[in-house]
Amino acid sequence: MAASGRGRTDGSQPSFLPLPHATRPARPASGPSSAGACLPPPHAYIPGVSPHLSLIERYLGSLYDTLDFGTHYQLHSSRAYLLAARTVKRRDAVSVQDYVRYMRGVLRTFGWNGASLRRRRPCFRAPRLLDTRWAPSGETVLFAEIEEALSGQRVTAAFGTVVEGGRHRVLWVTVAGAERDAARLRAQADHEMASVPPPIGPERVFLSLLELSYWRQHMPPEMPLFWLPEAAFSCHRTARCCSNHWAVRLSDNEVAATEARGLVRLLPRPPATLYRRVPEELLQEDEFRPFVLHPDSRGQCPFLTEENLCLVHQDAGRAVYHDCHVFPFGFTFTPDGVAVWTNLFCPSARHRKGRGFADNEADIRSRLQRVVPVLPQRFLRRADDPIPWPVFRAAEAQLLSILDREGHPVRQRLLAALGWLEAFTGAEPSPFDARLLERPLAPPLPEERQLADQVLGLLQRLRGLEPLPPPPGAARPAGGAADEAIGALPFVPYLLRTLVFSKYFSYPHGLVPGFNYVVLAYCLLVRRFGPWIPAAIPEAAWGEFFSALQHATYRRALAELSGHAVLRGLAQTPLFGELLLRVAIQPPAAPCHPAPEGTG
């Protein structure tokens, strides 16, 4: 056991090694320096003796040799944060009995013991002390090389320690990499607490914040990624995502990280309430993030500066909160891998400004790490009509191909895709007949217009989907169909392809109803913006629309439509999409009034 360098169980004392590389500030010749340099206390470093290595050995051994959670608890400072099951807790806020109970509950839940832990998940051993540094905040930072047993990889970890009760205790820990600045490492350790994922399966449950740090930095998701070839994005600091149209939700652990880091100190005028709890009725889909940041008096994120910079990002060197880290990317899990797309609420994503996704892959994978993997149990052509995944995938690819037919108006592409879906039986998809792109758009009957107007009117009551008032100085396009100007915008086909590729509607509703809802989104776009020249439409109006499309309120409205027996049956056929398209594109003719008497 001694050869492993991990904690001892035979009662013998660990060997202490000298610290040839320890650094200690030089004592000034006379009095304290004008710079206010802090001097370490006498027990911070004793030449020839290393209580520091002993502390690291016991820290690792209590978790990965003996599973002695009581000892692990005692090795921490009372001000340290512990990972108790799936929640970060400050040590002085949880008793040793409760901490042990939480951790033993994790072992029971997943059937873990010491041997199975070492076979299946990151375990650390064989520490070698590299250096110690005194931090101005009063901490002694220990740098140790440790081995991750599964991969054999050796990494450098930083342990921030303080003296309490005459003993060195761990205050924070993180995988340091090449970083040696104590203040930056402390910030990194504090912010990493926000990265604790919901415990979906054993691979996302950690015994310590050291494991979490290693997972975040060295275990990016390895599944295959797919994206639309035209997709591109780089952040241009428009700050649209920090406005009041996009609320930042927080988990309990993100709140703990915010408080541990004292982020409120970064604000020039700290608010009375930085975050609030979300009402219970809004937590159906996102129970693990029950808080939301309070907007400031500008209606923006309180951490947004006048220069459109993020104070949290500046402090951590990266995006910290889940919503901020993932946005604007979206991820859809499939049997083949992960479909990657962007939320077009972001202007840079909508207009594909920046680098292609292939050039962004490392960044995309770091964002994907924060996402809970969810895969549907079956894939549907229509409601209660399951089809094999290869058939679903091939049909989706055909729809994407039809929507990519440049040289044809968007309405004709949608109409052609609906025509192709009419022949789709759930077997191997048939080839596409290009003559479908020449289908005429028949005028709707009065009763058809009445039904479609009811559907569109119901959704147009939602904020961001209502018809746009005339913008100042706006002009109507001259002649043509209602979508003549809107359909010509380059991002509109990209929007439709993104809605199909993201499976935003097809996963919950099925391929055919899902594509009908893609057509419905286009009809709402035309109804909101169609009469006006696009150049006159303000960016905020576009943002509200794209935000509304992906809001929970819109999903609930679609569910309400699906609950109506007649509409539910109609939505299972491509005729529903065609009906909506005919009504939205062809507004009713203006009534013909007779000329007043006495005029020419």
DSSP run (H or E) holding 442: none
Q: How far apart are CA 411 and CA 430, in angstroms?
A: 22
pLDDT per position as a tens digit, 417-475: 999 999 998 888 889 999 999 988 888 888 888 888 888 888 888 888 888 877 666 66
Q: 3-state SS of 395-445?
A: HHHHHHHHHCCCCCCHHHHHHHHHHHHHCCCCCCCCCCCHHHHHCCCCCCC
Whether 103 and 69 have beta carbons less than 8 Å apart is answered as yes
**Confidence bin at 149 (pLDDT 50/70/90):** confident
**Confidence bin at 310 (pLDDT 50/70/90):** very high
- Residues facing residue 332 across a β-bridge: 339
- Looking at residue 3, its pLDDT comes to 38
Share of the chain above pLDDT 70, in %: 85
DSSP run (H or E) holding 544: helix 539-549
What's the token pair of residue 416? Answer: 């052609």
What's the token pair of residue 539? Answer: 């960016």
Q: How far apart are CA 79 and CA 191, in angstroms?
A: 16
Per-residue pLDDT at 479 exceeds 70: no
Mean pLDDT on 396-400:
97
Alpha helices in 27-95 (DSSP H): 51-64, 69-74
Whether 494 and 404 have beta carbons less than 8 Å apart is answered as no
Q: Report which of residues 316 and 556 the model is more confident about.
A: 316
Strands 337-342 and 225-227 come out as: parallel
Per-residue pLDDT at 340 exceeds 90: yes
How many CA within 13 A on the CB side of residue 343? Answer: 23
Q: At what angle do helices 539-549 and 511-529 cross, to 10 degrees?
A: 160
Per-residue pLDDT at 357 exceeds 90: yes
pLDDT per position as a tens digit, 221-233: 889 999 999 999 9
pLDDT per position as a tens digit, 14-37: 332 333 333 333 333 333 333 333
- Looking at residue 480, its pLDDT comes to 64
What's the token pair of residue 133? Answer: 């540094």
- Residues facing residue 134 across a β-bridge: 140
**Confidence bin at 114 (pLDDT 50/70/90):** low
Tell me the three state secondary structure of residue 173: strand
**Confidence bin at 164 (pLDDT 50/70/90):** very high
- Looking at residue 4, its pLDDT comes to 36
Mean pLDDT on 193-201:
80
Q: How far apart are CA 72 and CA 208, in angstroms?
A: 10
**Confidence bin at 285 (pLDDT 50/70/90):** low
193-222 in b/e burial notation, b at 16+ Cβ within 10 A? bbbbbebeeeebbbbbbbbbbbbbbeeebe
Mean pLDDT on 148-163:
93
Q: Lowest mean pLDDT: which of 188-197, 487-496, 504-513, 524-533?
A: 524-533
- Residues facing residue 175 across a β-bridge: 157
Q: Note the Cα 414 to chain centre separation in Å.
A: 31
- Looking at residue 464, its pLDDT comes to 86
- Looking at residue 39, its pLDDT comes to 34
pTM of the model: 0.83
Share of the chain above pLDDT 90, in %: 47
Please state, rounded to an integer, the average pLDDT across all residues of the chain: 83
- Looking at residue 566, its pLDDT comes to 75
pLDDT per position as a tens digit, 35-72: 333 333 333 343 444 788 999 999 999 998 889 999 99
- Looking at residue 47, its pLDDT comes to 42
Q: Lowest mean pLDDT: which of 125-134, 141-150, 445-454, 535-544?
A: 535-544
Q: CA separation (Å) from 221 to 182, 207, 391, 520, 554?
A: 29, 20, 26, 35, 31
